[in-house]
Structure 1
Amino acid sequence: MPEITRLANEAARLFTQTQVKTGEGAELLLYALLEKGLQIPQVLSKMSLKTSTEMQYHGADGVHAKLLDNGDLAVYWGEAKLYESVAKAMTDCMDSIEPYLTGTAHEQDVFLIRHYVDAGNAEVTARLLEYFNDKSILSANVEMRGACLIGFVHENYPSLPREEASVKAELDEVLSSWAKSTKTRLENRSLTKHAIEVFFFPMPSVEEFRKAIKAELRIEVKS
């Protein structure tokens, strides 16, 4: 238990301590959804590479990967956006992820992968690195994919407790609209040929979400 507590405190200190409008909570949620929900492991932890806790890291919000049945490596470039408006969150997320899928913006992140990738096992890590070695034939077998978490304020967020069936019906209806808007943005950026996981995360308040994350991390929120 003391070791677990030490690691938890050490991890919490990596988050920005004084910035109010931070997207790190959304990035943490995206990590959990990919790592635990879809079983797509993280291959690069950029949080541990930060040189200042008062700076948010740049580049992709997450780098995950998994081997496909055909032997190719699917690399998921993650972007998490948190806005009051769902339209703004969608647009910003697609703008941010576009360069990674088209191969025009991931050079620095690939550099970090080559030097800091950790699959939790030395043999697996060495094998993984072959996919990022230009001299290896495996480097041609990399498929770029995306993962987007779109967090936003939903005006009609249901007040609980509510009957589950009615809430689900309302969400199914509005989800169809969000999915259609996302598809349009992907088509406008010629990204429909890429596999992209999209998570919609409606909430009653972005500000309260940020406060809740900091409270869980035991970071004092100063007004």
Structure 2
Amino acid sequence: MSEAPEPILPLSLLAKNRDKFMALFYEPTSTALQTKTNLHLHILRVKNGDFDLPGLYRELKGNSAAYVLSRLNYQKVLDDPSLMMEVASKVQSQFRKPEKTSGEGGEVILYSLLEGHLGAPKVLSKMELKTSSDHYVHGSDGVHLLRVDDGSYQLIFGESKMYGDAGTLGSSVKRGIKAAFGSIGKVHQEGFDFDTWLVDSELLKEQLDPEKLEALSAIILPSDGGSGIKKHNAFGIFVGYEVDVSDIKSENMELNDIETELKKRAVKAIAAEHDLIRTEIANRGLGVYPFHIYAIPFAKRGNGKNAPGIEKVRMELAAQLGNREVPKK
């Protein structure tokens, strides 16, 4: 039996990294909200009454090199481990220091989900395109390519949002969804001017040999002739949201009961916004696009502006990815 042909773009994450990242979560719950809109809820496993944030930080740090580096440079590190420390320092320097507007942690989460769950390999990441921002579509958080079947592909543009409740209990999910679709709506209105540059990009030329680059060009820019290849633009969205658990009296509950309660609240919070997602798609005229939406809940405890929740997660994640200290208040 002949072997299957090597894909034009293999997944950039190593299999072990993908497996370790996906193992952080319970079995995801996937909901078809519309024909082309799928929502995937990934809930971090609960350890000692809380979502496993240390595990998440650890695996995202492990995934960050493949996210930041081109395939060529990442392969150089794999081939020559002596470069590991030098490259690790360069990767960490690409991430912004921890601050309230730090959003790159969400970008790495989305990248890890699109590769680890959807199986859509990275074409280019936001980090790789920082020096080419004039050509980059509206600051999208990454570009992935999904093979639907032999003659059909989706070019997926990423958008990640991690918002807290902002003083209104339960507003976190709404804020993230509205912000994500607001950004996507702008892309739709202003049009995609990215495809031709993407194929001509020096970044892709350094990663792919001429034969594979030509094959990728045939996918991204299918000719009007008889190639039979169809390419559609699509969107990948990550929404990180808060689940308020400040009323849970952990000292009076068994660990299994705490786990069950956290999962129940996480499911309820995102399920309440199914109609909002449908409305955003309809009102913004986005029904022609496939959507791959990912949601991850984070626990919020206490009240007031300083209550530890998703903002704390954003800061800690930025610190971990950049090997920096979280600033003291």
User: If the length of structure 1 is used for normalisation, what is the TM-score?
Assistant: 0.81
- Tell me: CA distance 1:61–1:72, structure 2 relative to 1, closer, same or farther (3 Å): same
Which of residues 209, 215, 219 is equivalent to 2:313? 209
Q: 1:98 to 1:219 in 2, by over 3 A?
A: same
Distance 1:118 1:91, change over 3 A: farther
CA deviation profile, 1:67-98 (whole Å, cap 9, x unmatched): 22141221111100122232121111011113
**Matching residue within 59, 66, 80 for 2:146:** 66
1:158: how far off?
9.1
* 1:111 counterpart = 2:206: no
Alignment root-mean-square deviation, CA: 3.1
SS of the residue aligned with 2:154?
A: strand
CA distance in 2, matches of 1:76, 1:65: 6
> What's the CA shift for 1:58?
5.2
Residue in 2 that maps onto 1:88: 175
1:113 to 1:45, Cα distance in 2 relative to 1, 3 A: farther
**Mapped partners of 1:139, 1:97: distance in 2:** 28
Change beyond 3 A, Cα 1:192–1:17? same
| Other structure's SS at 1:222 match | coil
- In structure 1, what is the equivalent of residue 129 of structure 2? 49
> Does residue 1:97 correspond to 2:177, yes or no?
no
1:127 to 183, 195, 215: 215
Q: Does 1:78 align with 2:158?
A: yes
Whole-Å separation in 2 of the counterparts to 1:129 and 1:118: 11
Q: 1:167 to 1:20 in 2, by over 3 A?
A: closer
8 Å contact kept, 2:239–2:294: yes
2:325 matched to which residue of 1?
A: 220
Structure 2 CA distance for partners of 1:2 and 1:211, relative to 1, 3 Å: farther
Task: Report if aligned partners of 1:78, 1:97 keep a CA contact under 8 Å in 2.
Answer: no
Residues in 1 aligned to 2:107 and 2:247: alpha-carbon distance in whole angstroms? 24
User: Does the aligned pair in 1 maintain the 2:125–2:141 contact within 8 Å?
Assistant: no
Tell me if the contact between 2:143 and 2:156 (Cα under 8 Å) persists in the aligned partners: yes
Aligned mates of 1:158, 1:31 — CA distance in 2: 34
Residue segments in structure 2 that go unaligned for 5+ positions in a row: 1-80, 132-136, 165-171, 301-308
Question: Offset at 1:191?
Answer: 2.1
Contact 2:98/2:319 (<8 A) preserved: no
Helix, strand or coil at the partner of 1:48: coil
- Structure 1 residues 214 and 151, CA gap change in structure 2 (3 angstroms): same
1:178–1:36 distance in 2 versus 1, CA, 3 Å: same
SS of structure 2 residue aligned to 1:25: helix
* Count of matched residue pairs: 218
Q: Which amino acid aligns with 2:116?
A: K
Pair 1:35 & 2:115 matched: yes
Distance 1:170 1:17 in 2: 32
Cα 1:82–1:18 change in 2 (3 A) is closer
- Corresponding residue number in structure 2 for 1:146: 235
Consecutive unaligned residues in structure 1, runs of 5 or more: 52-56
For residues 50 and 91 of structure 1, the distance between their equivalents in structure 2, rounded to whole angstroms, comes to 26
- What secondary structure is seen at the aligned counterpart in 1 of 2:96? coil
Amino acid in structure 2 at the alignment position of 1:144: N
Identity rate of aligned residues, in percent? Answer: 25
Distance 2:144 2:234 in 1: 10
TM-score normalised per structure 2? 0.57
Q: 1:68 aligns to what SS in structure 2?
A: strand
CA distance in 1, matches of 2:196, 2:256: 46
Tell me how far 1:113 sits from its aligned partner.
Answer: 4.9
Which whole-Å deviations, capped at 9, do the CAs of 1:45-67 have from their partners, x for residues lacking one? 2302324xxxxx95211110122
